[in-house]
């Protein structure tokens, strides 16, 4: 279920999957594999971030709430 926490997004890119904190000027890292990107983004759940996983077209695949 969505919330008002900070967000980190998993976004499709032509060269893989980007992990990007909302509002940051650029993605923190690009991963070849989407699952690896999600696993790394999940570390930010403990710092108060929801993990928003996007489909290739930008729509929402999964929304995991922060664990802070």
Q: Which residues bind other proteins (CB under 8 A)?
A: 1-3, 7, 9, 11-14, 18, 20, 22, 27, 52, 54, 56-60, 63
CB of 20 to other proteins, least distance (A): 6
Nearer to other proteins, 28 or 47 (CB): 28
Please tell me the distance from the alpha carbon of residue 11 to that of residue 14, in angstroms, as a whole number.
10
CB of 33 to other proteins, least distance (A): 17
H helix or E strand, kind and range, residue 39 = helix 34-42
Q: Please choose, from the candidates 45, 13, 51, the residue with its C-alpha nearest in 3D space to the C-alpha of residue 32.
A: 13
């Amino acid at each position: 279920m969505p919330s008002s926490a900070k967000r980190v997004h998993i976004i499709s890119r032509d060269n893989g999957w980007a992990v990007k904190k909302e509002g940051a000027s650029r993605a923190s890292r690009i991963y070849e594999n989407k699952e690896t990107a999600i696993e790394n983004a999940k570390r930010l759940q403990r710092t108060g971030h929801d993990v928003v996983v996007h489909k290739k077209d930008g729509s929402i695949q999964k929304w995991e709430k922060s664990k802070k």
